[in-house]
Structure 1
Amino acid sequence: MDISLLLTISMFITLVAFLLSGFPVAFTLGGTGLLFGLIGLATGALDVSFLTLLPDRIYGNVIRNELLFAIPLFVAMGVMLEKSNVAEDLLENMGKLFGPLRGGLGISVSIVGALLAASTGIVGATVVTMGLLSLPTMLKRGYSPSLATGSIAAAGTLGQIIPPSIVLILLADVMSSAWQQAQLSQNIFSPTPMSAGELFAGALIPGLVLVGLYILYQILVAIIKPEASPAIPPEEGAQLDTGFYLSLLKALMPPLVLIIAVLGSILSGIATPTEAASVGAIGAMLLGAARQNAKSLQNVLITLGCLIILLMIATFADLRIDRENVPTTDVIAYYGAILLTVIFAIGLARALWLLKTKAILNEVMTSTVRISTMIYAILIGAALFSLVFRGIGGDEIIESMLTNLPGGYLTALILVMLLMFVLGFFLDFIEITFVVVPIVAPALLAMEGSLGPIWLGVLMAMNLQTSFLTPPFGFALFYLRGVVPESIPTTAIYKGVIPFVIIQILALVMIALFPEMVTWLPKQLF
């Protein structure tokens, strides 16, 4: 057997074995890369010059990668919204709105899951929060334990496919590199870039379709098995009067405004994902402060008012004063903008100080640093692993294997999707993203019949989402198991998520058969 083929197979098997043993992902990636790098040097299969490229790859692809700056900002935004009890208000009001319908509580969980996905994007926090708040109510109202737990676990994973999400940011970075490699292998020396904004736009419609399929399933269960999802009796439901609708609007508006500001600025091209993430983080901080007391709410409203006026001034006035002839109106606008900026900065500082005194800011920053450090450590380990893998010729072997399959691109795509789905039973999305995607994506994108990186990226993202729900190691199942009563067996949770895994597979097939679901919106926006 060729030494390169032997090392490639051994390297992949060793990596998966260490990951399944529970060894930390970052150390597994880096350690496996280092081990086989030394073996490659000893056997002559690896040129030492490959290892000298590692510092440049880490500095260029990780440290200076502006897209990755969005990760800690989105994490901070999500953790702050979790601490702000946004989910509690949404679940309470949506439950009152849909509760009188059969299956209404399940529908409300799906809708709130979608809203939290677009604003927080953190699966663990969403599943635990909804499990603590919704599950007792659903069980009290007579919901089937499997349906209730399955609905919560599935809704909590929507943050992986509905943008902006950390999965899509990481996939965008990996797919962008794979797309450049694929074009270079086709002798295209001025490769067309792929942006995270395009991937966000491509994932939006499939994400909403998935939410619609979840809701449709809740309706079908309510029709076929009404005893599994009963309605709240009318006499126990909320009075749908003006007061209720005002309360509903108050719960909905803050996260909706934040979603529109972040996602809208990305999709419209006004801001990059990193810039939009900074807007989201600041917006979440202000929202968190506004929910503390009436005085802080007044401070936040003044702060936001200054920001809105500042944006209007920047839109309608020319604030460059280094011109020869500056109209008086522009001079006034310039100094007015300075004053508004100072007021905004003071208001933001007061909001942050309030969050610090409430011990909220410390928790948010600690969680942000912990999660971001983990991701960056994995990125560095993945850089070493992929460098050694390419150095021993692994990428060429994988490309040759995929291109020589009978049936061409379709067979290769199905094989890769099956591999990712099966690995999802044992590995989480980060491991699959940095282990499998960089290996197979360049070959798939270079093959005839490829529909481009955006479509393939969304297809992979939808596949990765199932890894949160597939036993035995689905993370959403572990999060939920930690908060459900002991009276509900683990088998009930597994049984409850199976229909939602099937729904996700159905959505995957729909994306494959109707690629316009993914490609239409990016074409319109970009």
Structure 2
Amino acid sequence: MSTETLEIVFVSVLFGSAILALLSGFPVAFALGGAAILTAFAASFTGLFDMVLLGSFPSRILDIVLNQTLVAVPLFVFMGTVLERSRIAEELLLTMGQLFGSLRGGLGIAVVIVGALLAASTGIVGATIVTMALISLPAMQRAQYNTALSCGVICASGTLAQLIPPSTVLILLGTTLQNANTQAQLQLGNFFYDPMTVTDLFAGALIPGFVLVAFYVIAILVTAFISPKSCPPVDQPADDDRKLITKILRAMLPPLALILVVLGSILSGLATATESAALGGVGAMILAFLKGGFGLRKLGEASRSAMSISLMIYAILVGATVFSLVFRGLGGEELVTTLLSTIPGDAFGATLFVLGLIFLLGFMIDTFEIIFIVIPIFAPALIVQGVDPLWFGVAVAMVLQTSYLTPPFGFGIFYLQGGAKGTLALNDIYKGVTPFVLIQLAGVGILWIFPGLVSWLPTALGL
């Protein structure tokens, strides 16, 4: 058997065993790491894989631990868990509901706006969807909104936390793409190049995030026009204008101030993503304590929740590091380069193939797994073909949003069902999220047609 055939066989075994382990419910980090080590051990008997390569694993783990950008992940997660328990979101939704509720579809629009503000405050999809489910689902049910529409609006609004910065997904995606870009530039012989940073990705994702919010609002307005009974107006208590303005300012100013401080410090260059994450964590605690009802017990709960989520992310990252190391040792990079070069359409066809693959993988595995597995494998080859890493990163983030909404393993669906305490039928949720999956894919199409939506803000800020 030729070396190339052996490489194809063992790379297929590597991916097949990892996917089988994931589908069986085995913990993600151990599924990736275990499949990689077992495949490497088997391949070593054929002489295809040198086990000495695994000796570099400790240094790679040390690189992860010492990576200053990745320190921002637990800090942003902590900021999100504090805001989740502070009831700031509840007050925000009630106020936005009063502002828009008298319009047909207005409560749905309020949910989208609050979801976008929470996304820019928390950066965590799960926390945003659960919070929105607890607060907005009862209100939408009381207003006699169509159940499927309510589910779709809540889930889709929650996934904005993946695209609108500061986002833990963007941090991990940006770090992975940064490494891929370095690898690609060295392969091209470009030793002096402008590196892509997480700050660039934050700036590039901001306008596409707002475009997606606009698409959601338009979808709700169209639904209200076509089917008025599915999203009726809500009777609101009459408040004079001055009282309503006071309520809006009181509800919106705290989260907006936090967003401006965190994002403003990053985009202006005054602070790195890690420094602004620390600032955001402190700011979230101050807001929570000033609002009242947030004591040491809730702070402890928020800290434990943040630690649990962060450890899960880092464990997956460690497992994916072993996976990538074995993949390269098996000659996988050359196979990927050959595969992408044979796809019709050059860079266009190759990019479409990779984005389509990410979309399909979203039906089976989690966002973090896709980032840590797919991006290190395919991104360097695409960048060598001339694909802009910044544009590719934002497009990937938008496609990855669908992984939270696509059955059977769409985590956003289960977050919503958990927040609703099992009162929702899966059929209603699937029916509700399907139009929003199509909207998100349409958003990727808009980015393809108008790539300036990604590059304009980073260019304007001189990043």
Q: In 2, Cα distance between the equivalents of 1:486 and 1:364?
A: 24
Corresponding residue for 2:97?
Answer: 95
Match of 2:110 among 108, 131, 134: 108
1:77 corresponds to: 79
Native 8 Å contact 1:102 1:230 kept in 2? yes
Check the 8 A contact 1:100/1:237 in 2, yes or no. no
User: Distance in 2 between the 1:21 and 1:396 partners?
Assistant: 30
Whether 1:254 and 2:254 are equivalent positions in the alignment is: yes
Which residue of 2 is the match for residue 264 of structure 1? 264
Deviations 1:369-427 (A, max 9, x none): 11111111111111111111101111111111101222211111111111111111111
* CA–CA separation in structure 2 for the residues paired with 1:483 and 1:35: 39
Helix, strand or coil for the counterpart of 1:67? coil
Q: Which residue does 2:436 correspond to in 1?
A: 500
TM-score normalized with structure 1 length: 0.85
Query: What is residue 180 of structure 1 aligned with on the other side?
Result: 182
Cα deviation, residue 123, structure 1: 1.5
1:489 aligns with 2:453: no
Q: Give CA deviations for 1:452-505 in whole Å, capped at 9, x if unaligned.
A: 111000000000000001112111111111233766422111111111111101
Cα drift, residue 33 of structure 1: 1.6
Name the counterpart of 1:220.
222
Consecutive unaligned residues in structure 2, runs of 5 or more: none
Cα distance between partner residues in 1 of 2:421 and 2:323? 42
- Equivalent residue, structure 2, for 1:320: none
Distance 1:46 1:493 in 2: 46
How far apart are the structure 2 equivalents of 1:59 and 1:132? 40
Indicate yes or no: 2:159 matched with 1:157: yes
Closer, same or farther: CA 458–99 of 1 in aligned 2, 3 Å:
same
Q: Once the 2 structures are TM-superposed, how far is the Cα of residue 238 of structure 1 from its aligned partner?
A: 4.0
Specify whether residues 386 and 487 from structure 1 end up closer, same or farther in structure 2 by C-alpha distance, changes over 3 A only: closer
The answer (yes or no) to whether the contact 1:70–1:277 under 8 Å persists in 2 is: yes
**CA shift digits 1:137-184 (9 cap, x unpaired):** 212212111111111111111100000101100000110011011111
CA distance in 1, matches of 2:9, 2:107: 54
Partner Cα distance (1:86, 1:149) in 2: 22
For each residue in 1:51-78, what CA deviation from the matched residue of structure 2 results, as whole angstroms up to 9, or x when unmatched? 1211111112x01100000011001100
Query: Does 1:355 find its partner at 2:295?
Result: yes
186, 198, 201: which one pairs with 2:200? 198
Q: Distance in 2 between matches of 1:94 and 1:494?
A: 27
Q: Identity, % of aligned pairs? A: 49
Q: What code does the residue aligned with 1:129 have?
A: T
SS at match of 2:69: helix
The question of 1:58 aligning with 2:61 is answered yes
Q: How many residues matched?
A: 459
Which deviates more, 386-395 or 135-144? Answer: 135-144
Residues 239-250 of structure 1 mapped to structure 2, 5 A cutoff: 239-250=239-250
1:43 is matched by which residue type in structure 2?
A: T
The match for 1:9 among 12, 21, 34 is 12
Contact 1:180/1:192, CA 8 A, preserved across alignment: no
Deviates more, 1:513-522 or 1:477-486: 477-486
Displacement after TM superposition at 1:237 (Å): 3.5
Corresponding residue to 1:38 among 15, 38, 41: 41
Per the TM alignment, residue 191 of structure 1 is displaced from its structure 2 partner at its CA by 4.3
Greater CA deviation, 189-198 or 430-439? 189-198
Deviation at 1:240, TM superposition (A): 4.2
Distance 1:485 1:68 in 2: 33
Selected match of 2:376 from 424, 433, 438: 438
Alpha-carbon distance, 1:48 to partner? 3.4
Post-superposition shift, 1:355? 3.2
Gaps of at least 5 residues in structure 1 are 294-353
Please give the residue correspondences for 1:384-399 in structure 2 after superposition, counting only pairs within 5 Å.
384-399=322-337
Alpha-carbon distance in 1 for matches of 2:240, 2:404: 36
Please give the TM-score of this superposition, normalised by the length of structure 2.
0.96
Q: 2:28 aligns with which of 25, 28, 32?
A: 25
Counterpart contact for 2:10–2:39, Cα < 8 Å: yes
1:403 and 2:406 correspond: no
SS at 2:295 equivalent: helix
Between the aligned partners of 2:87 and 2:156, the Cα distance in structure 1 is 20
Once the two structures are superposed, what CA deviation does each residue of 1:432-463 show, in whole Å capped at 9, x if it has no partner?
A: 11111111111111114x1x111000000000
Q: 1:302-381 maps to which residues of 2 (within 5 A)?
A: 355-356=295-296, 359-381=297-319
Cα distance between partner residues in 2 of 1:137 and 1:377: 38
Q: For each residue in 1:326-376, what CA deviation from the matched residue of structure 2 results, as whole angstroms up to 9, or x when unmatched?
A: xxxxxxxxxxxxxxxxxxxxxxxxxxxx832xx012111111111111111
* Equivalent in 470, 473, 480 of residue 406 of structure 2: 470
> In the aligned structure 2, how far is the partner of 1:170 from the partner of 1:417?
18
